[in-house]
Amino acid sequence: MTIDPRAYVAKELLPGLDVIPTLDLNDESIVQFRGMIALASLEVPPEVAVVTCEERFVPGSPDAPDVRILLYVPPGAADSPRPAYLHIHGGGYVLGRPELNDLSNRAMALTHGCVVVSVAYRLAPEASFPAARDDCYAALAWLHREAASLGVDPARIAIGGESAGGGHAAALALHARDFGQLPICFMLLDSPMLDDRTGSTIETSPHFGQLVWTAGLNRYGWKSMLGREPGGDDIPAEAVPARCADMSGLPPAFIVVGALDLFLLEDLAFAAGLASAGVPVELHVVPGAYHGFGAAGPAAPQVQMAQSLRQAALARAFAGS
């Protein structure tokens, strides 16, 4: 029986499938995709243009290059130290740059009155694990170290990202927990990419993972980041959040994922692991939604719902509730 994956997509989200480019990723094509991403520019609406954006370079981990970040600061003087959000962009571990999230990061800073730091981590396959994880940790360390000069409350630093960025955020949280030096108050994970075994040694259902980000793309992304074939017993657990045997001590988490997303089962399992370890977790599965369903635009009710849930969860985290 042949399954038409579009038949399961919510009608309000179908237009998004027509604007998402078809991805055929390999070591040659990612160069072209990166070039197109670099040329992409977004017009900044006046309502969020009041948020300043500054490029900076912060010290990397030992023997690693400096890490480029974008620093977003909301307008006006704060009466007390602001919360902060460390954003990690998506792109299957091989694509992306923080500029693509410029508008959402400006909106985040304005909505929550928080400082936002978006990390331009090193991409695979040129830089395999732990390069990106270490770049994100270096940015988190800088944010803590410079908290006073930035007017940031170090007790209210959250992290998060979408897709591969969500995977990097989860790996960063595990790394920070193990070192015990850089507190994180919250994880905001949007369709996080968490398990190298999905689509490699773990087969996927024909009812999800057929649109946008497929099992084949997942294998390429993980192979690039790990520097070896994914799914095997030789994969270091610290590189793959889903392989973590002990999730105790991680920060509270918010996870949202589409019901048609390749990452559905691994995200459900990760949420269950957090809950079993006593970590507060909020989980939402969006019916009829594929990976990257935000491409359907802000008018789609599913996009509005997911955005509202994200913002409410982060607001509660920053308020300490």
Class of domain 5-319: alpha beta
Per DSSP, 155 falls in state E
Residue 1: which pLDDT band, with cuts at 50, 70 and 90? Answer: low
Please, what is the average pLDDT of the chain?
A: 96
Region of 255 on the Ramachandran plot (φ > 0 left; ψ -120 to 50 alpha; else beta) = beta
pLDDT digits (tens, 9 = 90+) for 185-210: 999 999 999 999 999 999 888 889 99
Q: Distance between CA atoms of 259 and 131, rounded to whole angstroms?
A: 31
Which residues are the active-site residues?
163, 261, 291
Q: Reduced to 3 states, what is the DSSP secondary structure of residue 10? A: coil
Percent over 70 (pLDDT), the chain: 100
In the predicted model, what is the mean pLDDT of residues 74-97?
Answer: 96
CB-side neighbour CA atoms (13 Å) of 145: 8
What is the reported pLDDT for 317? Answer: 98
Which residues, other chains included, contact 130 with Cβ-Cβ below 8 Å and sequence gap of 6+? 238, 239
Percent over 90 (pLDDT), the chain: 93
The residues with which 56 forms a beta bridge, in sequence order, are 69
pLDDT higher than 90, residue 39: no
Residue from 191, 188, 179 nearest 138 by CA? 179
pLDDT higher than 80, residue 321: no
Phi, psi (degrees; rounded to nearest 5) at 16: -65, -30
CB-side neighbour CA atoms (13 Å) of 286: 29
Contact status, residue 178 vs residue 231, Cβ threshold 8 Å? no
Q: Distance between CA atoms of 220 and 163, rounded to whole angstroms?
A: 14
Contact status, residue 100 vs residue 56, Cβ threshold 8 Å? no
Q: Distance between CA atoms of 72 and 53, rounded to whole angstroms?
A: 5
DSSP assignment string, 54-92: EEEEE--STTS--EEEEEEE-SS--SSPEEEEEEE--ST
**What is the distance, to the nearest Å, from the Cα of residue 283 to the centroid of all Cα atoms in its chain?**
15
Token pair of 167, please? Answer: 């995977």
In the predicted model, what is the mean pLDDT of residues 39-67?
Answer: 95
What is the reported pLDDT for 18? Answer: 93
pLDDT digits (tens, 9 = 90+) for 238-283: 999 999 999 999 999 999 999 999 999 999 999 999 999 999 999 9
pLDDT higher than 80, residue 105: yes
What is the reported pLDDT for 151? Answer: 97
Token pair of 194, please? Answer: 């968490």
What is the reported pLDDT for 42? Answer: 84
67-73 and 52-58 beta bridge pairing? antiparallel
Per DSSP, 198 falls in state B
pLDDT digits (tens, 9 = 90+) for 155-190: 999 999 999 999 999 999 999 999 999 999 999 999
Residue from 127, 92, 129, 94 nearest 218 by CA? 92
Which residue is associated with the tokens 């108050």? 185
What is the reported pLDDT for 206? Answer: 87
What is the reported pLDDT for 2? Answer: 72
